Copies of this chain bind each other. A is one copy, B any other.
Amino acid sequence: MAEEQCIEREDRFDVDETIYKTFNIKNTINIWHDILNRTENQIADTILILNQRINLPFVVFKRLWETRSVHVCADGATNRLYEYLQEQQADNNNGNKDLREIYLPDFIVGDLDSITDDVKQYYFERGVVILEQHSQYAPDFTKCVKLILLNANSKEFNYLLQNNRQKENLGIDSDHGLLDMFDQLRQEHSKLPQRVDVLALGAIGGRFDQTINSITELYNARRDNPEMTLNFLTDTDIIMLVPKEGTSIEYNNDSTSNRIFRDHVLGNCGLLPIGEEVILTQTYGLKWDIINWPSSIRSGRVSSNNRFASRDKCYIQSDRDIVMNIEYYPDKLANYIEE
């Protein structure tokens, strides 16, 4: 194997396109168009809210919600949504419109031991589908993922959704009926017909085993449900599992303003081999680019405190999928969205 290298770049530079064209790019991810401001609103684009306090600027929350068709709350996350909308109502002088009525989730899923009775009743009265699944062998995150894939792909589930709205739990067994229905769907389709894109809020932070469990869900999704794209948005970071073997990460937003999106909205980043050792074969566009660099948490060789130095895109090639976090500034993002 070629020698390992670490190359310190200028703080800002333009990639050499003749070099960039030689890369075997198998995936392209655009931070702005694919995650923060999805423009091609697909039928199964989903926002999944997990049980952490929501701190997003309202303009950001609104954009994320409106550019996605399906809105799912995991159990106690429903309380967080309810509280957040109450706070925004008070803070933003939204007048007579009750924000809770406008931002109604489509589904509430989980073992329902955390959602309060009042909040559950509120959404029940407004026709939100509340699906109880008790099984202790799957965390609420997993139950939500399966619900999202069923909703996008299962004729049986959609039949129940149309015809069983009056029945408790849509007539689905409250212990593991949803999980069984998903297994059934998987038996019928080795490849699901409808792709889904999921952005999860509240996946990281809080109890540390839950944070790591969320990271596990990134790997689970890639392995078991390749029809799903799963990314996380926290108060500080965008977090994704960068696919191995050649990914171009773009962060231009085609803005006509003079301000540069990357400079104003994005901060540091890290390439984090959380699941296993990863060899970073090549990066191009980072402040500290690396070549043939074995990276692992046990060895202490982890590229943290790095950042995008190229003005609009960078290339990452590794022998295995690797977790990446990209710091962003929520208030600056709000300014961009408001423009």
Contact = CB atoms under 8 A, between A and B. Distances in A.
Interface of A: 139, 204-213, 215-216, 219-220, 223, 234, 236-237, 239, 267-270, 272-277, 296-300, 302, 304-306, 325, 327
A90 to B, nearest CB: 24
Contact of A212 (B209, B277, B297): B297
Given A209-B306, A276-B298, 9 more contacts: A205-B205, A207-B327, A209-B305, A209-B327, A211-B211, A213-B304, A216-B300, A275-B276, A276-B277
Main secondary structure of the interface of A (DSSP, over half): mixed
Number of copies: 2
B216 A302 contact: yes
27 contacts: A139-B304, A204-B208, A205-B205, A207-B236, A207-B268, A207-B325, A207-B327, A208-B234, A208-B236, A209-B302, A209-B305, A210-B304, A212-B302, A213-B305, A216-B300, A216-B302, A219-B299, A223-B298, A274-B297, A275-B276, A275-B277, A275-B296, A275-B297, A275-B298, A276-B276, A276-B296, A276-B297
B274 A304 contact: no
Contact of A209 (B205, B223, B268, B277): B268
A162 to B, nearest CB: 33
B276 A139 contact: no
Given A215-B297, A219-B297, A297-B216, A209 B273 contact: no
Contact of A236 (B206, B269, B275, B277): B206
A270 B208 contact: yes
A216 B296 CA distance: 9
The 8 closest A-B pairs by CB, nearest first: A209-B270, A275-B297, A209-B304, A208-B325, A275-B298, A213-B304, A212-B272, A220-B300
Contact of A304 (B206, B212, B272, B327): B212
A276 to B, nearest CB: 5
A39 to B, nearest CB: 26
A135 to B, nearest CB: 12
Contacts of A304: 139, 209-210, 212-213, 216
A210 B223 CA distance: 27
Contact of A274 (B204, B223, B275, B306): B275
A305 B214 CA distance: 12
A88 to B, nearest CB: 23
Contacts of A207: 236-237, 267-268, 325, 327
Contacts of A139: 304-305
A296 B212 CA distance: 11
A167 B184 CA distance: 73
A79 B117 CA distance: 41
A304 to B, nearest CB: 4
Contacts of A300: 216, 219-220, 223
Contacts of A209: 268-270, 272, 302, 304-306, 325, 327
Given A275-B298, A276-B276, A270 B212 contact: yes
